[in-house]
A and B are shown apart, each in its own frame.
Chain A
Amino acid sequence: MKYSFQFIFGAFLTMMFTMGCEQTTPYAPAENELLDGPLEGLTIAQQIKFLSGDEAFGDVFTIEKGLGPVFVANQCASCHPGDGKGSPFVEFVRFGQPDTLGNQFLEFGAPQLQHKAIPGFEPEQLPEGATTTKLIAPAVTGLGFLNFVSDQDLINLSDPNDIDGDGISGRPHWNNIPDYVTLRPNTISQNGKYISRFGKKAAAYNLLHQTSGAYNQDMGITSLFETIDPYSGLEEDPEVSTQTVNDVVFYLNTLKAPLQRDEGATSIIAGAQIFSEIKCASCHIPSLQTGYSPIEVLSYKEFHPYTDLLLHDMGSELDDQYTEGFALTSEWRTPPLWGLGLSKDAQGGSYFLMHDGRAGSIEQAISLHGGEGEASKNSFAQLSEVEKQQLIEFLESL
């Protein structure tokens, strides 16, 4: 029995240690190190809905659940890992023609090329004569804020004829919208068109428009909103429920905005100053404000996305001779810069920046700016190495 007491005592200590297990489990990363997570202040009911949407966002579509037959990815989270930017692994190709007369290749499966197929089927092929662009998916954080900026605010930011003479002439994308879209409060129309703001060419009006299109064109999933199967071209029964689509839309609306890190650091303050001085902030507008939103925590809030949600001519190097809606081939929507510094953690440790991921670094991304961004690019080139570094540190803090 000599060892019995020692054994029991040892076992007791071990059990006590086990009970204190919170000390032996991984720490949660700081909130500003994560892209995913809900907005602060959601009601309990909204948090439940957020969770449903989060789950649906991660749902894997199998063949039995309707994947394909042709597709690009098999879950939302494949293109937006950790709610961040996509990578070339799930790049998608869109095709059409250079003019804005409407996509003439719809009967050939345009606008998106489904370049993967379930076993037994062949992927879609590019039709002869089509022009193409490659795209990687944007981060989805903070989309609710962008969704509820009023149309009037975007019009106020625009300067389509460059009246102020600063060389920057952003314009809203006045586009046709599908019937199923519900107009946001106080929306403004012009000749039957509405301001679209989501997507690389700002071709989607709101998150329902964007989400339904993604289910359909990315995964080959039909819904009550997008009923045509991309493979057969025929109307098919919904493969995802309206409730699920709505849950995902709610989830996207209520994802938090990325939080800046180390904003008080001297080099980052200096970088922010340089960002304004070389006119990056003319398109990458630091602060916007939401209008009314039925989701209370999104109503009338100032936020810091570093975008104006407008189309800008970005020059010949970024002109893929492909367009969507009424955007010109050289026009791209200003991408939000918030979360830029966290992009690598969603893209496998490397940057894949610009619309197609062709830039492997922030410096390279800046150097690809042309057109309305040409002057800022040239100004960046003339900065000292220290100033360049400060600007990069600032951008990575976002």
Chain B
Amino acid sequence: MLLLLATTGGLFSQEADPLVKRVSKDTSKVSLNMDAVYNRPFLAIKKMPIALGGYLEANSLYQSEDGISEGLSFQARRLTLFMSSSITKRIKFLTEIEFEDGTKEIGIEFAALDVSLHPALNFRGGIVMNPIGAFNQNHDGPKWEFVERPDVAVNMLPATWSNVGFGIYGKTHKGDWILGYEAYLTNGFDNSIIDNEENKTFLPAAKENAERFEESNNGKPLFSGKLTVKNRNIAEIGFSYMGGAYNKFEEDGLTLDEKRSVAVFAIDANAVIKNTGTYIVGEIAFVNVDVPETFTQQYGTKQWGAFVDVVQPVLQRSILNWENATLNVAARLDYVDWNVGTFQETGNKIGEEQIAISPAISFRPTAQTVFRINYRYQWQKDILANPAAKTAAWLFGFSTYF
């Protein structure tokens, strides 16, 4: 890997070298969110069987909760490397390896073989990103105007959520309409989603279990499926579902617990308003978890959350000799309720919810690089719905494909 990095590092600095060619992205206008994993800039090096790419995200953070701040921090959020290879015309391989927070977390987020049988029928196997919502598969930093990822995607849903498994996907189009689907069986969640140090039902807790790449927690596959419809003149909308048993209920032929299930349903959408160039993207998701009645209500059975981003280009022209540079203003609204319902003891509404608003300014000297200034103001209520803790944060950073 080090040798590869050293080699590619040298090559990237010589983009004009005819040995290195940038692989053009899919501009066929039939691409969907599900294509995001391949819809990235890659560099192909002559005679090398693989194309390379990646992105880097870093930022500064000044945050204060209820008047108490830890001061200014600098964060190296992600360094992600992609490698893809067309083994034959209809067999492709792609992998995405991510280093989060320096080397605190190193993970293979995607490593799959794609076999195209027909445009409407493709096989994918390996480490796949479960198609739940849109963000999980389309999470590259340079594509977003915000330093923070949407709360619903990373603090309720477990983006980036990858598992070993296989499935099929495909798409077809007629006129302006495009229809896509995905269906996978993978390894899945475990007991930690209702037993974790977050002290709430927390699907991302299952990401801590690295053994899910080795074996299923309970021998029952997690089903993930998505249906997407897009009209090229209007919008793209996706409906996705992910569900299955999450707990280990048997071992060595002995019963440990009842079989308990988790189900996630999400709707995502994105659109560009042609007259103004305004880009709108959002996602809403609902989680149902079977929590034992005799366990604590601290762990909720229902959750929901949503986010919406509105991005408005305000300047698109040559700036400081960058051709086609863009200055955007943007805003995000985040909401998550981790524990929907009322207390058995009092009938009062359970809290454990959070709302945040994030205005932003972003500057893109090129489409592949974004500089972002974000302000985020958040209200977070504890489980008893006591007065919200208020947190404000200033984030300045960049994200760039390379």
Measured between beta carbons, the chain A residues less than 8 angstroms from B247 are 119
On whether A88 and B396 interact (CB within 8 A), knowing A60-B199, A346-B384, A346-B386, the answer reads no
Complex interface: chain B residues within 8 A of A82 (CB): 382, 386
A4-B319 contact given A25-B64, A26-B66, A119-B191, CB 8 Å threshold: yes
| Distance between A117 CB and nearest chain B CB, rounded to angstroms | 5
Say whether B387 faces chain A, with CB atoms less than 8 Å apart. yes
CA distance A24 to B292 in the complex (A): 43
Q: Which residues of A contact B382 (CB under 8 A)?
A: 81-82
- Interface SS, B side: loop
A25 to B66, CA, bound (A): 8
* Contact of B197 with A62 in the complex, beta carbons under 8 Å: yes
With an 8 A cutoff between CB atoms, is A295 at the interface?
A: no
B195, B373, B384: residue with the most chain A Cβ atoms closer than 10 Å: B384
Find A116's partner among B191, B294, B343, B346 (CB 8 Å cutoff): B294
Q: Are B294 and A87 in contact (CB under 8 A)?
A: no
Contact with A along B350-386 (1 / 0, CB 8 A): 0100000000010100000000010100000011111
Q: By the criterion CB–CB under 8 Å, are A26 and B64 in contact?
A: yes
Are the C-beta atoms of B195 and A63 separated by less than 8 Å? yes
Complex interface bits, B175-205 against A, C-beta within 8 A gives 1, otherwise 0? 0000000000000000110111111000000
B-side contacts of A4, CB under 8 Å: 319-320
B65 CB to nearest chain A CB (Å): 7
Q: Does A18 contact B (CB under 8 A)?
A: yes
Whether, in the assembled complex, A28 has its beta carbon less than 8 Å from a beta carbon of chain B, the answer is: yes
Contact of A348 among B68, B257, B351, B396 (CB under 8 A): B351
Number of A-B contacts (CB under 8 A): 125
* Cβ-based interface call for B99 (8 A): no
Are A24 and B327 in contact, CB atoms less than 8 angstroms apart? no
B351 to chain A: which residues have CB within 8 Å? 348
A73 at the A/B interface (Cβ < 8 Å)? yes
A349 vs B382: C-alpha distance when bound (angstroms) = 12
- How distant is the Cα of A82 from the Cα of B292 in the complex, in angstroms? 27
Report the Cα distance A4→B64, complex, angstroms. 33
Complex contact B345–A88 (CB within 8 A): yes
Q: Is B298 an interface residue (CB 8 A)?
A: yes
Taking the closest CB of chain A, its distance from the CB of B49, in whole angstroms, is 43
Per-residue B-contact encoding for A110-139, CB less than 8 Å = 1, 0 else: 000000111111110000000000000000
Partner of B394, one of A24, A59, A89, A121: A24
Q: From residue B95, how far is it (CB to closest CB) to chain A in Å?
A: 32
Known contacts A4-B319, A89-B346; A21 and B296 CB within 8 A of each other: no
**CB-based contact A117/B294 at 8 Å:** yes
The answer, yes or no, to whether A150 is at the interface (CB within 8 Å) is no
- With known contacts A25-B67, A28-B66, A60–B197 Cβ distance under 8 A: yes
- Cβ of B298 and Cβ of A74 under 8 Å apart? yes
B233 at the interface (CB under 8 A from A): no
- Docked Cα-Cα span, A11 to B327, in Å, equals 11
Instruction: Tell whether, in the assembled complex, residue A89 and residue B297 are in contact, meaning their CB atoms are under 8 Å apart.
Output: yes
- Determine whether B392 belongs to the interface, using a CB cutoff of 8 Å to chain A: yes
Q: Is B120's beta carbon under 8 Å from chain A?
A: no
Nearest Cβ distance between residue A83 and chain B, in whole angstroms? 12
Q: How many angstroms from the CA of A64 to the CA of B348 in the assembled complex?
A: 31
| A21 engages B319 (CB within 8 Å) | no
Across-interface contacts of A349 in B (CB, < 8 A): 385-386
Q: Closest residue of chain A to B299, judged by CB?
A: A74
Please pick, from B198, B256, B298, B373, the residue contacting A14 in the complex, using a CB distance under 8 A.
Answer: B373
- Chain A residues with CB under 8 Å of B192's CB are 62
Residue tally, chain B, CB below 8 Å to A: 51
Is B69 interfacial (CB 8 A cutoff)? Answer: yes
B160 within 8 A of A: no
Are B295 and A118 in contact, CB atoms less than 8 angstroms apart? yes
Answer whether residue A374 sits at the interface, using C-beta atoms and an 8 A cutoff: no
Nearest A residue to B395, CB-CB: A18
* B320 CB contacts on chain A under 8 angstroms: 4, 7-8
Q: Is A350 an interface residue (CB 8 A)?
A: yes
**Residue in chain B with minimal CB distance to A347:** B384
- Inter-chain contacts of B294 with A (CB < 8 A): 116-117, 121-123
Given A26-B65, A28-B67, A73-B296; A89-B345 close (CB under 8 Å): yes
Cross-chain contact B69 with A345 (CB below 8 angstroms) = no
Complex contact B384–A25 (CB within 8 A): no
Residues in B320-351 with C-beta less than 8 Å from chain A = 320, 327, 343, 345-346, 348, 351
Known: A21-B394, A25-B64, A28-B68. A62 touches B195 (CB 8 A): yes
Chain A, range 13-46, C-beta contacts under 8 Å to B: 14-15, 18, 21-22, 24-29
Whether B361 contacts A14 by the Cβ 8 Å rule is yes
Task: List the B residue with the shortest CB-CB distance to A82.
Answer: B386
B264-280 interface code vs A (CB 8 A; 1 in, 0 out): 00000000000000000
Question: A348 with B292: in contact, given A60-B197, A89-B343 (CB under 8 Å)?
Answer: no
Contact A24 B319 (CB under 8 A): no
Residues of B within 8 A of A81 (CB): 382-384, 386
Q: State whether A3 touches B315 (Cβ < 8 A).
A: yes
Complex: A28 Cα to B391 Cα, angstroms = 11
- Measured in the bound complex, the distance between the Cα atoms of B343 and A345 in whole Å is 17
CA distance A8 to B69 in the complex (A): 29
* Distance of A67 Cα from B199 Cα, bound (Å): 12
Nearest-Cβ distance from residue B324 to partner chain A, whole angstroms: 14
Q: How far is the CA of A349 from the CA of B391 in the complex (A)?
A: 21
Contact indicator A117/B295 (Cβ below 8 Å): yes
Q: Chain B: residues with CB nearer than 8 A to chain A?
A: 62-69, 191-192, 194-199, 247, 256-257, 260, 292, 294-298, 315, 317, 319-320, 327, 343, 345-346, 348, 351, 361, 363, 373, 375, 382-387, 390-392, 394, 396
Q: Which residues of A are interface residues toward B (Cβ below 8 A)? A: 3-4, 7-8, 11, 14-15, 18, 21-22, 24-29, 59-60, 62-64, 67, 71, 73-75, 78, 81-82, 87-89, 91, 116-123, 345-350
Some 30 contacts from A to B, beta carbons below 8 A apart, are: A3-B317, A14-B373, A15-B373, A21-B64, A21-B392, A25-B69, A26-B66, A26-B392, A27-B67, A28-B67, A29-B66, A29-B67, A62-B197, A71-B296, A73-B298, A78-B298, A81-B384, A81-B386, A82-B382, A87-B384, A89-B345, A89-B346, A119-B191, A119-B292, A119-B295, A123-B294, A345-B386, A348-B351, A348-B385, A350-B346
